[in-house]
Chain A
């Protein structure tokens, strides 16, 4: 079966972000970029399915500028077979990305789509669910365990307060949570090989999708700094304040 995975190019999780002095956005000039960690987990899961003989082909897709080829190559080095870059830098909000991906899904007809649950830049946690709606596929978000059998996939999901297990008919969409797997490192020979794997570039026009803006970013601010509160003199005073002033116990 064919598995489609998506990757997003985001700022590396080790890098501290900085808001531009004019408050227009976050400054990404010359900072280290990487594959979104949740997407890396998605790629790893697909590769494991291939190693088990369940997946026959892994297609990795990204939506972004031409520099996202770097992240697609990383996914190819990790074990994906071929890549598609939907080159689009305008209006890349979740709904539009989902619309572009829906067209790719229509063309590729994968049995399973594995995506990260959210990107660590925008923290939206939307695209997988939106893609599922647009393709009218079942969804299992926040997966911590995935097992594929015949025509269905059984997914254990991390929900508030515990775990929930669902069975979805294929084709289906799964989004990954942190504990699904520990992604491997790309080996040097595989990085070399990845340079020769096919990487196709398409535009929204090629896919027949016209995008319009649904939201507008008005500004970005650093979070407010916490400041020192009061010093209490005794444990009794502390308990009293927590009960009657802060009302948290």
Chain B
């Protein structure tokens, strides 16, 4: 039968996470529909119809769905699921919030945060904070799945799916949206950033972190630090990446002047691409870096800033 992918959006823009989710779904080799639930979300439906590999876009456009709260969207998805074998959403806070509720309504398990599709009913997902990978087989006829989007490339956008309105409306009398406060900082938060540049003890002092910030501004990156840099008092504790700090997995992680002790690696080794810049070519960080540059960071950083 078929796959229903839940669109991630804000009523105006289809979020890129949807593209990674569709790509994961496409590995099941079944027809794919996207469901857009929202209010005044026709623009999103249009964008969804352009996603490669998608046949149909279902649009449930109603004021009741404006904030995509789980109570009624889960009911809607569960109802629509009767026509599908798979219900799949991105493992974002929205997907994580809604999909388990759908699964329970359907009396099936949810397979959370898959990073690989093994077969029609078998998936790989990280457990223990990514320190192990479990291979899980679903025994339910209907499969409800969330996808770790960083594990899948984005689908293309050269498709032309048909858009079909869906008139089902479930009211939500149980919960109510009060307000939303989206962070508009100049730099993304460490745990949400797609690019992170971190400094270690090699930075020498706190002032030198401005060299990293300049590069970060060019890349839209967050700035992190190793425990050694925090312990040396260069930067505050909340910038620490590592075992006892934040665990991050951006698309690009640039480690500058960080030797790369295992405690630091534990916090960033799941990054997609790792760059190491260090003058000590024996530094352990080079053993896990995709790109290593053995050089003096005080020469590299200004040059990097100018080339970006």
Contact = CB atoms under 8 A, between A and B. Distances in A.
Interface of A: 11, 16-17, 19, 26, 93-95, 98, 120-134, 137-142, 154, 157-169, 172, 213-223, 226-236, 238-239, 241-242, 246, 248-249
Contacts of A215: 109, 111, 136-140
Interface string B171-185: 001111111111100
Interface residues of B, number: 79
Contacts of A169: 173-175
B82 interface: no
Given A137-B174, A140-B175, A168-B175, A129 B104 contact: yes
Contact of B103 (A17, A130, A160): A130
A163 B286 CA distance: 37
A126 B70 CA distance: 13
Contact of A164 (B126, B131, B177, B289): B177
Contacts of B132: 17, 19, 26, 220-223
A228 B260 CA distance: 13
A180 to B, nearest CB: 15
A248 B252 contact: yes
A229 B291 contact: yes
B293 A246 contact: no
B117 interface: no
B113 interface: yes
B100 A125 contact: yes
Interface of B: 67, 69-71, 74, 92-94, 96-105, 107-113, 122, 125-140, 173-183, 192, 195, 219, 251-252, 269-270, 272-275, 286-295, 300, 303-304, 307-308
Given A130-B101, A235-B303, A163 B252 contact: no
Contacts of A128: 100
Given A95-B108, A121-B127, A249-B308, A228 B183 contact: no
A19 B43 CA distance: 47
A126 B112 contact: yes
Nearest to B274: A226
B contacts with A: majority SS: mixed
A36 B136 CA distance: 22
Contacts, number: 232
Given A123-B128, A235-B307, A238-B291, 20 more contacts: A94-B110, A125-B112, A130-B104, A133-B104, A137-B174, A157-B93, A158-B93, A160-B94, A161-B183, A163-B181, A164-B177, A166-B176, A168-B174, A215-B140, A216-B139, A218-B135, A223-B130, A223-B270, A232-B293, A242-B291
B74 A121 contact: no
Contacts of A160: 92-94, 192
A67 B182 CA distance: 43
A160 B118 CA distance: 28
A121 B132 CA distance: 10
Contacts of B182: 161-163
Contacts of B137: 215-216, 218
B258 to A, nearest CB: 15
The 9 closest A-B pairs by CB, nearest first: A214-B109, A162-B182, A138-B174, A129-B100, A229-B290, A133-B104, A130-B104, A126-B100, A138-B175
Contacts of A130: 100-101, 103-104, 110
Contact of B308 (A166, A217, A230, A239): A239
Contact of A124 (B112, B173, B252, B272): B112
Given A160-B93, A239-B304, A246-B273, A133 B101 contact: yes
A232 B108 contact: no
7 contacts: A123-B113, A125-B112, A130-B110, A215-B137, A227-B288, A231-B293, A242-B291
Contacts of A122: 127
A236 B299 CA distance: 13
A214 B108 contact: yes
A239 B307 contact: yes
A217 B135 contact: yes
Nearest to A122: B127
Contacts of B286: 228, 231
Contacts of A26: 127-128, 132
A216 B136 contact: yes
Contacts of A134: 104
A81 B85 CA distance: 44
B139 A248 contact: no
A124 B274 CA distance: 27
B101 A227 contact: no
Contacts of B92: 160
